[in-house]
């Protein structure tokens, strides 16, 4: 997924709504594939929402252009 560089250091929850929804959907899919309990998956999603975008590159494929 290609993301403008200006958002690289932004928290996920602070992104413009349309970009936020695209990224959070990808994060949800990545988390759903993990062997975690439902509570752990909810916590992981909450934690991802509070992360800067560049910290999510291990979980989802992001390219900053």
CB 8 within 8 A of CB 53: yes
Looking at residue 47, what is its pLDDT?
95
Give the model's pLDDT for residue 36.
94
pLDDT at 32: 94
The model's pLDDT over 37-54, given as tens digits with 9 standing for 90+, comes to 999 999 999 999 999 999
Mean pLDDT, range 3-24, rounded to an integer: 94
- How far from the centroid of its chain's Cα atoms is residue 1's Cα? 11
Strand intervals (E) in the chain? 2-3, 63-64
Percent of the chain whose predicted confidence (pLDDT) is above 90: 94
What local confidence, expressed as pLDDT, does residue 15 receive?
95
């Amino acid at each position: 997924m290609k993301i403008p560089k200006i958002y690289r250091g932004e928290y996920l929850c602070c992104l413009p709504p349309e970009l936020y929804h695209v990224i959070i959907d990808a994060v949800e899919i990545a988390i759903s594939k993990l062997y975690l309990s439902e509570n752990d998956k909810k916590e992981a999603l909450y934690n991802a929402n509070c992360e800067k975008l560049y910290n999510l590159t291990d979980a989802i494929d992001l390219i900053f252009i």
